[in-house]
Amino acid sequence: MREVIMRIIGGVAAVLIILAGCQTTAIKSVNVHGATAARKRVLVIVNKWWECDPLMEVLLNDNARPASYLGWPTQLNHPRKRPDQNNLPPENPSPIPRAVFTLTNISVEVWCLSDLLEDLPDKPQFQSSSEVKARRLSKAFAGRPVDFVVAVGAAGYPGDASENGSVVVGTKVFMHNCHPGGANSNSNWNVGPFDKIVPTTLDSNAFTSITMIETSANPSVKARFLVPPLNPAPTGRLLADQDFVAIGEFNVTDYSEYDKTDQQTLDAYRSSNDPNLGKSLETTHGLIRSQSEAPFIFVSGIYDRVGHFEEEVSPRLYSQKTTAAHNAGVVVAWMLPKIDVMFGSRQNASATNENAK
């Protein structure tokens, strides 16, 4: 009888060991800092929580995304409740992304910058400080090397004609320090480089292949765009060019300054650069670009013409901004398979070259 009991105990122990091994494997499959080392690491970084929520809804909605290619996230931390302002959590030393999508050749981490600031009060001097945001962004880039970066956010369009509801995709950034020399005590990010075009290492052929998301005569991807309620573009467009520039204004934490700093930043850009290539104005694409020399793309969902916030956003704040973020999310969702294929082609070419030696 004793021998039988010992055999049963031994069998149970073996099963537990096997299950523990399976659990370890499952955890490794969603570890964002090295588990899928064979796959290239792609970061999709969204600025504000109200921009990330619509993007995530696209990435999880089979009517909006290429569901058969993206599959379901291997790690999902969405929806995410906003913190209680009367009982803020401590700073998280090891944050995790909103979602991780494991594709054939890439592991895609979706990060929201607001999630990295949840321990701070929901006030502009904290949530919109370029200095604070840059410091917290480093947490998303921690771990194994990053191979590709996609910066996502809503933005203004620096032109007279409305592109509200359209999406701009480019690779270059221009950063202007609106409060140099520490003039804003709440934000003194001085890394830059300021007042010059910062290019990407992504080549033009790769950019074209990634942004060629409409593959039929009928625009099935852009047909998923939502129409903003205020002064929408006649047709929501995907405006994509490797030379397009995201113009960024930095160290502004007083929202009442934006009328002045918007124009100041545009003037700084236009004084020595092609005004036709500056296609969006916002606050964060450049911060994200400054974190890494990995190939970089920005995706700007347009919600107003620069200088027209009060008439084109304020009366319908939620609707106007949400449609812009949603449409940016649609573009991101359909670019991810293209990025996956790009890295697959590079790996195949590398393997072919190795075999030829």
pLDDT tens, residue by residue, 17-43: 333 444 333 333 334 434 444 899 999
Judge whether 185 lies within some domain: yes
Q: In which residue ranges of the chain is pLDDT below 50?
A: 1-37, 353
Supply the range of the domain harboring residue 20: 1-30
Residues 4, 77 share a domain: no
- Residue 218 has a pLDDT of 76
| Cα–Cα distance for residue pair 198/192, rounded to 1 Å | 9
Judge whether 294 lies within some domain: yes
Residues 173, 92 share a domain: yes
- Express each pLDDT in 183-207 by its tens digit: 999 999 999 999 999 999 999 999 9
Judge whether 357 lies within some domain: no
pTM score of the predicted model: 0.87
- Give every CB contact of residue 299 below 8 A, 6+ residues apart in sequence: 150, 151, 152, 153, 167, 168, 169, 328, 331, 332, 335
Residues 322, 189 share a domain: yes
Residues 25, 47 share a domain: no
Q: How many domains does the chain have?
A: 2
Which domain CATH number covers 184?
3.40.50.1580
Residues 246, 319 share a domain: yes
Residues 235, 87 share a domain: yes
Task: Give the DSSP H or E segment for 267.
Answer: helix 258-270
Pairing mode, strands 296-305 and 167-170: antiparallel
Residues 147, 26 share a domain: no
Judge whether 91 lies within some domain: yes
